[in-house]
Amino acid sequence: MSRSGQRGVSLIELMIVITITAILVMLGIPSFQQWMLNTRIRSVTESIQNGLRLARNEASQRGADVRFQLISSSNWQVCTLPVSAASAAAATDCSSASSTVLQTFNSPGSASNVQVGATTATSNVATSVYSGIISGGIPAGITFTSLGRPSDYGNTSILRIDVTAAEAALQATSRRLVTTISAGGMVNMCDPAITLSANSPQGCP
């Protein structure tokens, strides 16, 4: 009675499998890193939109001026400003002692390699030009009135926020999402890489 022989995996075959697996992993790493970066960009953009909408809703509900403010990179605060004109003149941002902070958002590690820029104009959305990158301690925000409208529209209020890759070399291949605030206080997000149409409402006008 013959016994069927069992053949194991040879060292050469094992090395071939390991080599092929390593090549496939190396080919997939750039795509995975790009996907992760785009996910971070969208996460930061949605967080900022949530803060803007919170500030607008609080202003309407409280019947008072409520400010949304970028405090560093993708971190933000929402606060109420003093009612009296004398105090309001001194309290231009959420760091003032006379302001009341309603909510503070500190972005987790998911915001790494992402930069945030802001400007007081909504023009040239198709380009990546904005007044500056928000960095530590630079106040840049928008105040909503009790009617839910931006105060000092187009002058001191930020009306456009760009979120993109922090590294210049990655900006051409990664997403750039733009958030704009209309004169009526509506908050909208668009993708400049997509042409606005009936079939692509996420594109920028």
- Residue 170 Cα to chain centre, angstroms: 16
Mean pLDDT for each 10-residue chunk of the chain (205 residues)?
A: 59 79 68 82 91 94 90 82 59 76 78 78 59 50 90 78 80 82 90 80 78
pTM greater than 0.85 (yes/no): no
Architecture of the domain whose range is 11-204: 3-Layer(bab) Sandwich (3.55)
What is the distance between the alpha carbons of residues 43 and 60, in angstroms, rounded to a whole number?
26
Q: What is the dihedral of CA 188, 189, 190, 196, to 10 degrees?
A: -30
What one-character-per-residue DSSP string does 130-159 give? -SEE--TT--EEEEE-TTS-BTTTTTTS--
For the chain, give every domain's residue range: 11-204
Cα-only R_g, the chain: 24
Query: What pLDDT does 136 receive?
Result: 45
Give me the helices (H) in the chain, please: 11-62, 85-90, 168-171
